[in-house]
Structure 1
Amino acid sequence: MKESQMQRGQQWLEELLKLSEIPSKVVCEQQKDCYWMTIDESNLSPEQVAILVGPDGDVIDAIQYLCNTVANIGNESEEPIPYTVELNGYRLRRQEELRSMAEYAADQARSTGVEVELKALSSAERRQVHSFLSECEDIETYSQGQDADRRLVVRLR
């Protein structure tokens, strides 16, 4: 992953915030498999933070989707470079919720032997759950359905 690609995402996000009249700095760091972009909330009001996160994280998810789409235009590598947009600890809290959800689904599949469907997850969240449960030798996951009806299924191997 290139430094210029990280700066491209940072500049795009700062410009979006500026155009939205919620100017803020963005701190970027490279993690193992993505660029983590944290919106500096120190000069934001609680209302601005709430607007940027949105109900159930819908707005921050949309911002992240747009960032991933726009910042990867012209990317010469075969794999798009993932960007994660963080604000006010939302992603970290959501990651813990997803981990708990994944563990509960795995426990349900183990105890009942029945497939467990997890609905209403974004594609990034489904990837996280797949990743969390990939460590379990007795559990497998797959996605089924299309578009808004796509869901993750957890079952015994």
Structure 2
Amino acid sequence: MFKKVEIEAKTQQEALKKATELLKISANKISLEIIKEKKGFLGVGASTTYVASPKVDLVTEGKQYLESIIRALGIETRMEIRSVSPTEFYYRVQSNENALLIGKDGKTLLSFQTLLRNYLASFTSEPILVTLDIGNYHENRKKQLEILATKTAKEVARTRIAVKLDPMNAFDRRIIHAKLAEWRDVETESEGEGEDRAIIIRAKKN
């Protein structure tokens, strides 16, 4: 799961220096394992081949990283973390400045989530899935969107007139798609680019 690079060096210090450059992480977070030694002739040409990989706990690493970002804003937080799988993590954050950390339409929250995901992904060779919820925003937002999806779908099924919802971020669109995926009368489709991307709910053809 963790990134690995093979390095040939004359000394462990040289190997560690190369590893920091290749893995782009600090030396104290790197593990070196010797896999081959070349003795050379009278000590000349001697070298060692190492496998270098990150030496971190992703849960702890993510917590410290997120805390440092939010603390830089002068905000203290309480944080709960759940490891869903070796590459999937759920972070729940509470503070006395939830609205500030969430931002308009959850944009600040999603920025924090992207930063956190990219940081943890820098240690791994596999995709990382991170969900960050601040002040139960995602949970409350999910309920609101599911109500909207159901209400709109019923109207579309009754009138057979397609409805285009307001533009949404990818997280919100996934909730709408998932909620209506099993409906027999309607179907959903995303159209548009970037911040203008929106969902269309239309009646299925008979």
Name the TM-score class by shorter chain: 0.7 to 0.9
Asked if residue 18 in structure 1 is aligned to residue 65 in structure 2, the reply is no
Hey, what's the Cα distance between the residues in 2 that align with 1:147 and 1:112?
Answer: 30
Hey, what's the Cα distance between the residues in 1 that align with 2:122 and 2:201?
Answer: 34
Which portions of structure 1, spanning 4 or more consecutive aligned residues, are displaced by more than 6 angstroms?
none
Matches within 5 A, 1:134-149: 134-149=181-196
TM-score, reference length from structure 2: 0.63
Between structures 1 and 2, the one with greater helix share: 1
Gaps of 5+ in 1: none
**Aligned mate of 2:159, from 104, 112, 117:** 112
Indicate the RMSD between aligned Cα atoms, in angstroms: 2.6
Hey, what's the Cα distance between the residues in 2 that align with 1:13 and 1:54?
Answer: 16
- CA change 1:59–1:75 in 2 (3 A) is same
Q: Secondary structure at the match of 1:36?
A: strand
**Aligned mate of 2:89, from 35, 41, 47:** 35
Between structures 1 and 2, the one with greater strand share: 2
Task: Check whether the contact 1:64–1:83 (CA below 8 A) recurs between aligned residues.
Answer: yes
Gaps of 5+ in 2: 3-55
- CA change 1:49–1:115 in 2 (3 A) is same
Hey, what's the Cα distance between the residues in 2 that align with 1:84 and 1:97?
Answer: 18
- CA change 1:65–1:115 in 2 (3 A) is farther
Hey, what's the Cα distance between the residues in 2 that align with 1:34 and 1:133?
Answer: 25
Larger relative contact order (CA 8 Å, sep ≥ 6): 1
Task: Check whether the contact 1:142–1:152 (CA below 8 A) recurs between aligned residues.
Answer: yes
Identity of counterpart residues, as a percentage? 25
- CA change 1:131–1:30 in 2 (3 A) is farther
Task: Check whether the contact 1:13–1:26 (CA below 8 A) recurs between aligned residues.
Answer: no
Deviations 1:47-84 (A, max 9, x none): x222112233232222223223333235322xx33222
**Aligned mate of 1:94, from 130, 138, 141:** 141
Structure 2 partner of 1:132: 179
Hey, what's the Cα distance between the residues in 2 that align with 1:83 and 1:133?
Answer: 24
